[in-house]
Amino acid sequence: MTFDRSIKIAPSILAADFGNFGAECAAVEAQGADWVHVDVMDGHFVPNISFGPTTCAAIRPHIKGIMDVHLMISPVDPYIDAFAQAGADFITAHVEAGPHIHRTLQAIRGAGAKAGVALNPGTPASAVEHLLDITDLVCVMTVNPGFGGQKFIDMTDKIRTLRAMIGDRPVHIEIDGGVDVNTASGVVQAGADVLVAGSAVFRGGSVSNPTPYGDNIRAIRAAASGVYV
Ligand code: DX5
Ligand code: ZN
């Protein structure tokens, strides 16, 4: 996997049909998704439960490209090997999930995955300042994690600060929550390259009618690139 800062659209399957994850992943990839974003929630770190490593392993064969696993769980460390073995390319842990995020990121890389660190809206950019040399991705939450379909919270200043802090390091900036045609351009201008979008991608389509997925992905990409269609 070579590093680049081109815009990547990562549909979150939290907005997909939970009875049909395999086909939903294949459908969004066929419709132009760059990565597939997989949201794991434990009902403890966040007030909602989604699914765990067994589901990730079941989804994996249906994804040709990058499987980007966002862990909204605490603790993280006991489950890292299970998610790595499930085939996650990126495993992202929250800086708020425990006192030893540095150890967690080392353990994720040690398990053979790319290491991501996520920041809740209330957490400053400085929380990752000493982690950038052991991190492959910083995820800036633009909603409080736990649910899809929430209203975007403006984190432009934080994204700009992080982009400057990262400098030449090969670290992605991912934005998660409320990304759509209206919010994509501002976050990309501030320095983001990975755009997670759940409702804005899956809205209007289905596995039997996947064309809206492609239309939605193209519209977000165009808005993010400053090309309005
Ligand atoms: C929120 C999740 C997001 C969410 C995004 O807790 O981490 O990935 O599914 O959904 P939308 O795009 O609908 O805000
Ligand atoms: Zn997410």
User: 3-state SS of 60-88?
Assistant: HHHCCCEEEEEEECCCCHHHHHHHHHCCC
The residues, any chain, with a CB within 8 Å of residue 79's CB and separated by 6 or more, are 52, 53, 71, 73
Specify the pLDDT at position 226: 86
Minimum-distance ligand 1 atom for the alpha carbon of 150: 14
155-194 pLDDT, tens digit each? 999 999 999 999 999 999 999 999 999 999 999 999 999 9
User: Which residues neighbour ligand 2 (ion) by CB within 5 Å?
Assistant: 39, 70, 176
- What's 35's DSSP letter? E
Q: What is the largest CA-CA distance in the chain?
A: 46
Specify the pLDDT at position 229: 52
What does the alpha-carbon distance between residue 139 and residue 172 come to, in Å, rounded to a whole number? Answer: 8
In a domain, 101, yes or no: yes
In a domain, 215, yes or no: yes
Specify the pLDDT at position 74: 98
What does the alpha-carbon distance between residue 214 and residue 156 come to, in Å, rounded to a whole number? Answer: 27
**What's the 70 CA to ligand 2 centre distance in angstroms?**
5
- What's 227's DSSP letter? -
Specify the pLDDT at position 227: 74
In a domain, 12, yes or no: yes
- As beta bridge partners, residue 173 has 138
In a domain, 229, yes or no: no
* Chain mean position to CA 9: 9
**What's the 69 CA to ligand 2 centre distance in angstroms?**
8
In a domain, 1, yes or no: no
* Alpha-carbon dihedral sign for residues 131, 136, 138, 144: negative
Count of domains observed in the chain: 1
In a domain, 3, yes or no: no
Candidate from 21, 91, 150, 187 with most ligand 1 atoms within 8 A of CB, to mutate? 150
Specify the pLDDT at position 1: 80
Q: Is 176 a catalytic residue?
A: yes
Q: Check 34, 42, 68, 176 and give the catalytic one.
A: 176
CB count, 10 Å around CB of 167? 8
115-133 pLDDT, tens digit each? 999 999 999 999 999 999 9
In a domain, 125, yes or no: yes
What does the alpha-carbon distance between residue 108 and residue 120 come to, in Å, rounded to a whole number? Answer: 20
Structural domain harbouring 52? 8-224
The CATH number of residue 121's host domain is 3.20.20.70
Q: Is 81 a catalytic residue?
A: no
What does the alpha-carbon distance between residue 153 and residue 179 come to, in Å, rounded to a whole number? Answer: 10
The residues, any chain, with a CB within 8 Å of residue 168's CB and separated by 6 or more, are none
Minimum-distance ligand 1 atom for the alpha carbon of 70: 7
Q: Which ligand ends up closest to the CA of 199?
A: 1
**Sheet of 172-176, strands arranged across:** 8-11, 194-197, 172-176, 137-141, 114-119, 90-94, 66-72, 35-41
In a domain, 71, yes or no: yes
Positions in the chain whose pLDDT score sits under 70: 228-229
